[in-house]
């Protein structure tokens, strides 16, 4: 069965999104496209990044990709959703290692920073990588999860 990837972008990432989505589908992935569906210069990245992160957290998609102008705002939003580990990765090493060591489940891209070809390579590295499950990474993830649990008590 095809792996489901949730996808979202604001106006800053819209052009890259409409190129990346069909390419991703041609690679055999199922895309859950959570917008933007039209280019609206007044739309806001939190709306799309939150929708993608929520879909991943709820298990509707295995991983998510969010795009804004820099990748920063969308990444900040995605990390607000419990269970999400998102990062901007504009180099291939981090896109792969973020999954292998840190179990990254959302990749954030900046469309004003990377072009289509690099975005395709970053996406591939992110999607083919698997968490290694090595003891030291499991231990660190448990600490990350404990911090997330603790932070709920501050609210």
Is residue 10 within the footprint of ligand RB5 (CB under 6 A)? yes
Is residue 8 within the footprint of ligand RB5 (CB under 6 A)? no
- Nearer CB in complex with ligand RB5: 12/98: 12
Query: For this structure, is 75 an active site residue?
Result: no
Stretch that binds ligand RB5, among 23-31, 46-54, 62-70, 83-91 (CB under 6 A): 62-70
Which of 72, 92, 113, 118 is the binder for ligand RB5 (CB under 6 A)?
72
Per-position DSSP letters for the chain, written without gaps between them: -PPEEEEEE-TTTHHHHHHHHHHHHHTT-EEEE-S--S--TT--HHHHHHHHHHHHHTTSSSEEEEEESSSHHHHHHHTTSTT--EEE--SHHHHHHHHHHH---EEEEETTTS-HHHHHHHHHHHHH------HHHHHHHHHHHHHHHHHHHT-
**Catalytic residue, candidates 11, 37, 89, 101:** 101
């Amino acid at each position: 069965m095809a792996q489901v990837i949730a996808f979202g972008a604001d106006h800053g990432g819209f052009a890259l999104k409409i190129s990346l989505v069909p390419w991703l589908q041609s690679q055999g992935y199922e895309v859950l496209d959570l917008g933007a569906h039209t280019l609206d210069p007044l739309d806001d990245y939190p709306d799309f990044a939150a929708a993608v992160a929520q879909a991943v957290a709820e298990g509707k998609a295995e991983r998510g990709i969010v795009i804004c102008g820099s990748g920063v705002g969308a990444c900040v939003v995605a990390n607000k959703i419990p269970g999400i580990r998102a990062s901007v990765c504009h180099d291939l090493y981090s896109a792969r290692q973020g999954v292998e060591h840190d179990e990254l489940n959302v990749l954030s891209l900046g469309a004003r920073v990377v072009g289509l070809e690099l975005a395709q390579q970053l996406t591939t590295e992110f999607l083919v990588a698997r968490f290694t499950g090595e003891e030291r990474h499991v231990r660190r993830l448990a600490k990350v999860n404990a911090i997330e649990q603790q932070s709920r008590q501050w609210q």
